[in-house]
């Protein structure tokens, strides 16, 4: 840590001193020398140069004759320059330095008296230890008093259940005693590096570590320790508090400490009566990389010092209860939580949770809740702090039971269910709770006459759950049965009850009293923020079973099938789901609210039903229209036939009830097309006006535009080893290339054609026109014979076109013997892929980088019937000249796979390696397949 004296500072001070004869410049010079030799941050002194120069050359200090005023001005200057409030200059003509006695040199009787006066130990109620230390004694003193400290302090402290360490009045002490105290609160192994102290005058660094052995019994790492601090706590006591806090071994209660220093000296400035106070040593914690100096130690619990003991006692009472609280919560989860397979992990997490910094029940609830949510991934499992400690009220299931008496039953159905026939022959059914009846047959008979008979011939059905707050889940199956065809049995949901340890499957009823509504007509379920509990389950099942469309507001998110338990003796409560509601896909619904297919204000939901039902009437026509376009234009006809059937099948199965407008239909169609075909290029989009063709006839550039086009499209560079580099990010049309041909040959091609190897960078080339691909390929082959590059099949014209190299090209060919490397990325697409794949198939280039996107040479845009939907359909495919197989969808697999950002460097290393082998009489030839590459050595 040796520091060099800043030479500019000395030169500045010497020049200043020689130019002035008054005492002030000499004072500044001496002060600077003291700082250079003693200040614990010498690296910061370079910043003083401008400040000192400005102070002296401005003449401000030369005009100050009053010594005390001058001291104040110098203090402000040096503190501002070094940003250190501990640096102070004082004028003290009568200063008498006081040298405190070295404690180890005192007689043993005085040392004992000193320790007894500065250390106080009590055993409080509940076996809480109270240890007050007003002076941190150093290592030597501790060694001399070892048996006394062991017998009267540490062995007694070790027997306590928890400890309050009071450092509020600790204003003095030695840093060497810090490891002695820290060691009592840590394990013997491993040793912990707790502090690093740099001393500037001696230019030495000292490391403080915990001790492998101590006199007496250690307190260990498990029992609670609370340290009390105040604004007066300073020096070594701050080091103790700071270290134990950041080792997560103690909780700090009280006020922010003073923010003292490891070592501060008051040094006389030359022969004057001015003194400067300088921090000569600094501490840096290896635990945090920071220090307690100047800023002090911030408490975990902030409270005025005089109330700290009382607060510490109450905090220890809370912390002593934590193990029992955690055990109670663990037991509740073990007995009741519905996800039995997650119980062991949850209980393990509760046992291993770090609760070191918990200082209140509210803290405990937050910490435990975070851990339980993370492990269980179940928003229903919640721990809350209930400050009012009010009684937990559970909903009375009797509210949803209906009587057996026929008259009472009829009256209840009449008041519970509201049935109307709206304009457009739309049925309307509102009920605000899911009732439960032991006389289910009688209830069905009443409902058949009152509800389903009036609704049986309606065009669509609205089920209004906007005011439904829940009820009995078993009634769900009855209602849902009326919305299915009775020709076959349908599974609706499963309920697992942990308390009863039963699993119940709910199916559609094979025999229904009265007419069923069936699944062919539209069912529209209305929701609001008030829709809760079983009402939410019904809306969820309508979506999960694809029986209809949910319209309205997101539901309340009521946590269902849960019990709340008060943790005895606390203000904590845990909500545990004891029932799992599992849909017919095997997924457990965890609540959290149902998101409607169409989110609208609840009061406007009925109006939106009419618009959405009209939209649904035209869905089949749009699905059929999409299939017809595929069969007519998609390049692979057998795939088109398959996808067309899949679309219609999904519509029949109700998969499109969630689609409520053209935007959502376009999104769903795109997903289904790509999933069924495996072709990510198929795309449906919504457009209010007829879209323009993606590929217009290329515009031939003017003579003025040629230079700009070349600069914009092409980048060339000559790399070390006579390696050419060519990057172009768009595939231009053949007519454009012909128009700019002479300038392109002169400005680009001629500069790289004589290189020993060539790197073509296609990482940012997303495609363009395919017409120029044969021309580009031709430059890398000999004139004779002409080569078959690839074949294009066009579905629209049902033609196969073989693409060949050209017999003649402008300028010099690169030929077929020199190495070519093509760089690719996941962005490389369309015509850029065709060029890359062709060069790979013909073993003319080594491909380096990432697999390409799998684009298409040509896609047509077609309107779906007379709607505002358009389908982008690839109508051409590329067949390999070597294998005859289609590769467009899968893209191009590189010979050497590398991150796109590293591809250029990888290619350069390959070239360098190849050159090195050739110099040793060896050469390598790359051969490849779609997924692998091999290097064959020829000797």
Domain boundary among 91, 117, 141: 91
Does 442 have pLDDT greater than 90?
no
Domain boundary among 653, 686, 719: 686
**Nearest one of 645, 679, 651 to 665, comparing CA atoms:** 651
Specify whether 460 is located in the same domain as 570.
yes
Any domain includes 102: no
**Nearest one of 188, 179, 96, 169 to 143, comparing CA atoms:** 179
Specify whether 335 is located in the same domain as 187.
no
CA terminus-to-terminus distance, the chain: 58
Give me the pLDDT at residue 804, please: 93
> How many domains does the structure of the chain reveal?
6
Per the listing, tokens 């502090």 go with 195
How many degrees, rounded to 5, is the angle at CA 553 between CA 549 and CA 555?
95
Give me the pLDDT at residue 103, please: 58
CATH assignment at residue 328: 3.30.750.44
pLDDT tens for each residue of 75-95 = 888 888 888 899 999 999 888
How many degrees, rounded to 5, is the angle at CA 104 between CA 102 and CA 105?
70
Specify whether 339 is located in the same domain as 449.
no
Any domain includes 699: no
Any domain includes 925: no
Domain that includes residue 210, residue range: 108-262+282-305
Give me the pLDDT at residue 731, please: 87
Spatial distance between the Cα atoms of 763 and 900, rounded to a whole number of angstroms: 7
Give me the pLDDT at residue 390, please: 46
Specify whether 508 is located in the same domain as 561.
yes
Per the listing, tokens 């398959």 go with 642
Q: What is the DSSP letter of 745?
A: I
Q: How sure is the predictor about 888, in pLDDT bands with cuts at 50, 70 and 90?
A: low
How many degrees, rounded to 5, is the angle at CA 485 between CA 481 and CA 488?
95
Handedness of CA 710, 715, 720, 721 (dihedral sign): negative
pLDDT tens for each residue of 320-347 = 999 999 999 999 999 999 999 999 999 9
Specify whether 761 is located in the same domain as 813.
yes
Specify whether 87 is located in the same domain as 180.
no
Domain boundary among 580, 602, 624: 602
Q: How sure is the predictor about 52, in pLDDT bands with cuts at 50, 70 and 90?
A: low
* Cα 887 from chain centre: 37
Any domain includes 752: yes
**Nearest one of 516, 523, 525 to 453, comparing CA atoms:** 516
CATH assignment at residue 574: 3.90.226.10
Handedness of CA 75, 78, 80, 84 (dihedral sign): negative
Does 139 have pLDDT greater than 70?
yes
Specify whether 210 is located in the same domain as 72.
no
pLDDT tens for each residue of 728-777 = 888 888 888 888 888 888 888 889 999 999 999 999 998 888 888 999 99
Any domain includes 394: no
Give me the pLDDT at residue 98, please: 65
How many degrees, rounded to 5, is the angle at CA 529 between CA 527 and CA 535?
50
Q: Which of 128-132, 460-464, 688-692, 729-733 has the lowest mean pLDDT?
A: 688-692
In contact, 526 and 504? CB cutoff 8 Å: no
Most confident of the ranges 2-6, 422-426, 827-831, 873-877? 422-426
Specify whether 739 is located in the same domain as 626.
no
Specify whether 298 is located in the same domain as 239.
yes
In contact, 160 and 123? CB cutoff 8 Å: yes
Specify whether 203 is located in the same domain as 348.
no
Q: Which of 140-144, 501-505, 838-842, 917-921 has the lowest mean pLDDT?
A: 917-921
Specify whether 596 is located in the same domain as 610.
no
Any domain includes 938: no
Specify whether 892 is located in the same domain as 821.
yes
Per the listing, tokens 């290097």 go with 935
H-state helical runs in 460-545: 474-481, 534-544
Averaged over 239-259, what is the pLDDT? 95
Any domain includes 168: yes
Any domain includes 763: yes
């Amino acid at each position: 840590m040796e520091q060099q004296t800043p030479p500019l500072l000395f030169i500045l001070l010497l020049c200043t001193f020689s130019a002035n004869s008054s005492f002030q410049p000499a004072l500044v010079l001496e002060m600077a020398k003291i700082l250079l030799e003693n200040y614990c941050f010498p690296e910061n002194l370079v910043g003083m140069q401008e400040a000192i120069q400005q102070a002296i050359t401005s003449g401000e200090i030369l005009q100050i004759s009053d010594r005390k005023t001058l001291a104040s001005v110098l203090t402000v200057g040096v503190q501002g320059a070094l940003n250190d409030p501990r640096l102070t200059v004082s004028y003290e003509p009568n200063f008498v330095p006081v040298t405190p006695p070295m404690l180890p040199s005192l007689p043993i009787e005085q040392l004992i008296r000193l320790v007894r006066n500065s250390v106080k130990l009590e055993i409080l109620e509940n076996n809480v230890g109270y240890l007050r230390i007003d002076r941190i004694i150093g290592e030597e003193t501790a060694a001399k008093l070892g048996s006394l400290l062991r017998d009267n302090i540490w062995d007694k402290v070790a027997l306590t259940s928890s400890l309050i360490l009071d450092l509020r009045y600790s204003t003095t002490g030695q840093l060497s005693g810090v490891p002695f105290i820290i060691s009592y609160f840590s394990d013997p192994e491993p040793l912990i590096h707790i502090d690093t102290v740099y001393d500037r005058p001696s230019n030495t660094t000292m490391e403080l570590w915990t001790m492998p052995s101590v006199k007496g019994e250690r307190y260990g790492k498990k029992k609670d320790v609370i340290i009390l601090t105040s604004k007066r706590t300073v020096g070594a006591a701050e080091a103790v508090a700071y270290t134990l806090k950041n080792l997560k071994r103690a909780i700090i209660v009280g006020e922010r400490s003073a923010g003292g220093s490891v070592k501060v000296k008051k040094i006389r400035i030359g022969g004057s009566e001015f003194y400067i106070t300088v921090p000569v040593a600094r501490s840096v914690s290896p635990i945090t990389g920071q220090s307690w100096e100047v800023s002090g130690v911030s408490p975990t619990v902030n409270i005025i010092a005089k109330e700290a003991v009382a607060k510490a006692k109450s905090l220890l009472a809370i912390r002593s209860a934590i193990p029992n609280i955690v055990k109670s919560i663990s037991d509740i989860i073990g007995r009741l939580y519905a996800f039995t397979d997650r119980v062991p992990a949850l209980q393990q997490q509760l046992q291993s949770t770090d609760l070191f910094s918990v200082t209140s029940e509210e803290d405990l609830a937050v910490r435990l809740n975070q851990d339980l949510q993370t492990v269980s991934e179940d928003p229903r499992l919640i721990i809350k702090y209930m400050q009012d400690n009010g009684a937990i009220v559970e909903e009375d299931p009797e509210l949803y039971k209906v009587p057996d008496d026929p008259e009472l039953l009829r009256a209840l159905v009449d008041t519970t269910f509201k049935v109307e026939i709206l304009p457009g022959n739309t049925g309307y059914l509102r009920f605000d709770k899911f009732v439960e009846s032991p006389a289910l047959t009688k209830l069905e008979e009443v409902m058949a006459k009152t509800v389903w008979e009036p609704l049986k011939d309606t065009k669509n059905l609205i089920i209004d759950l906007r005011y439904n707050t829940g009820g009995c889940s078993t009634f769900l199956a009855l209602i849902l049965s009326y919305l299915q065809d009775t020709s076959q049995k349908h599974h609706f949901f499963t309920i697992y009850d942990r308390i009863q340890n039963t699993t119940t499957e709910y199916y559609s009823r094979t025999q229904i009293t009265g007419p069923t509504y069936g699944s062919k007509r539209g069912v529209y379920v209305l929701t609001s923020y008030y829709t809760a509990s079983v009402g939410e389950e019904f809306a969820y099942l309508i979506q999960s079973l694809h029986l209809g469309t949910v319209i309205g507001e997101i539901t309340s998110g009521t946590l269902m099938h849960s019990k709340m338990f008060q943790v005895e003796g606390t203000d904590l409560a845990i909500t545990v789901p004891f029932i799992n509601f599992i849909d017919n896909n095997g997924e457990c619904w965890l609540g959290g609210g149902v998101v409607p297919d169409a989110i609208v204000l609840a009061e406007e939901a009925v109006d939106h039903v009419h618009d959405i039902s009209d939209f649904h009437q035209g869905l089949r026509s749009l699905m059929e229209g999409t299939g017809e376009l595929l069969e007519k234009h998609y390049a692979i006809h057998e795939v088109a036939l398959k996808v067309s059937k899949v679309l219609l099948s999904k519509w029949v199965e109700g998969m499109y009830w969630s689609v409520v407008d053209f935007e959502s239909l376009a999104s769903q169609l795109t997903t289904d097309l790509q999933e069924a075909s495996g072709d990510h290029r198929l795309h449906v989009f919504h457009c209010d006006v007829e879209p323009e063709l993606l590929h217009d006839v290329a515009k031939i550039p003017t003579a003025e535009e040629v230079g700009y086009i070349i600069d914009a499209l092409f980048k060339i560079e000559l790399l070390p080893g006579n390696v050419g580099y060519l990057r172009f990010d768009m595939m231009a049309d053949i007519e454009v290339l012909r128009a700019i041909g002479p300038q392109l040959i002169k400005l680009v091609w001629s500069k790289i054609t004589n290189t020993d190897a060539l790197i073509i960078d296609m990482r940012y080339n997303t495609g363009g026109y395919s017409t120029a691909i044969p021309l580009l390929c031709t430059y890398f082959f000999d004139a004779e014979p002409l080569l078959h590059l690839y074949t294009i099949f066009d579905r629209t014209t049902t033609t196969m076109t073989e693409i060949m190299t050209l017999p003649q090209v402008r300028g010099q060919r690169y030929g077929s013997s020199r190495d070519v490397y093509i760089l690719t990325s996941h962005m490389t697409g369309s015509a850029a892929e065709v060029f890359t794949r062709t060069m790979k198939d013909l073993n003319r280039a080594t491909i380096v980088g990432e697999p390409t996107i799998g684009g298409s040479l040509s896609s047509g845009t077609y309107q779906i019937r007379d709607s505002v939907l358009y389908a982008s359909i690839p109508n051409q495919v590329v067949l390999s000249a070597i294998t005859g197989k289609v590769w467009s969808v899968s893209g191009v697999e590189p010979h050497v796979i590398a991150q796109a950002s590293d591809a250029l460097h990888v290619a350069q290393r390959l070239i360098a390696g190849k050159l090195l082998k050739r110099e040793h009489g060896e050469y390598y030839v790359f051969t490849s397949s779609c997924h692998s590459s091999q290097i064959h050595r020829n000797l």
